[in-house]
Amino acid sequence: MDGLIGHLKIEIALCKDLIAVLQRETESIVARDYKALYEAACEKEGLVRKVNASAGARTRHVEEACAFLGIQADGGQHLDRIIERGGALASELDGCLKTLASLAASIRELNELNSLAISSSLENVKKTLGFLGNFLQPSAYKPGGGAEGLAFKGSRLSKGA
pLDDT for 19 equals 95
pLDDT for 44 equals 93
**Among 43-52, 74-83, 105-114, 132-141, the least confident range:** 132-141
pLDDT for 89 equals 82
pLDDT for 136 equals 64
Give pLDDT tens digits for 76-132: 567 777 888 777 788 888 899 899 999 999 999 999 999 998 888 888 788 887 777
**Contact indicator for 27, 115 with CB cutoff of 8 Å:** no
CATH number of 2-122: 1.20.58.300
For the entire predicted model, the pTM comes to 0.71
Predicted confidence (pLDDT) at residue 35 exceeds the cutoff of 60: yes
pLDDT, average across residues 57-68: 83
**What are the extents of the domains in the chain?**
2-122
Between the two ends of the chain, the Cα-to-Cα distance in Å is 91
What b-and-e string marks burial along 54-90, b requiring 16 or more CB atoms within 10 Å of the CB? beeebeebbeebbeeeebeeeeeebbebbbeebeebe
Say whether 62 sits in a helix, a strand or coil.
helix
Predicted confidence (pLDDT) at residue 142 exceeds the cutoff of 80: no
pLDDT for 143 equals 63
Q: Distance of CA 29 to CAs 23, 45, 118, Å?
A: 10, 17, 7
pLDDT for 60 equals 84
pLDDT for 34 equals 87
pLDDT for 107 equals 94
**Contact indicator for 20, 107 with CB cutoff of 8 Å:** no
Closest alpha carbon to 40 in 26, 54, 55, 59: 26
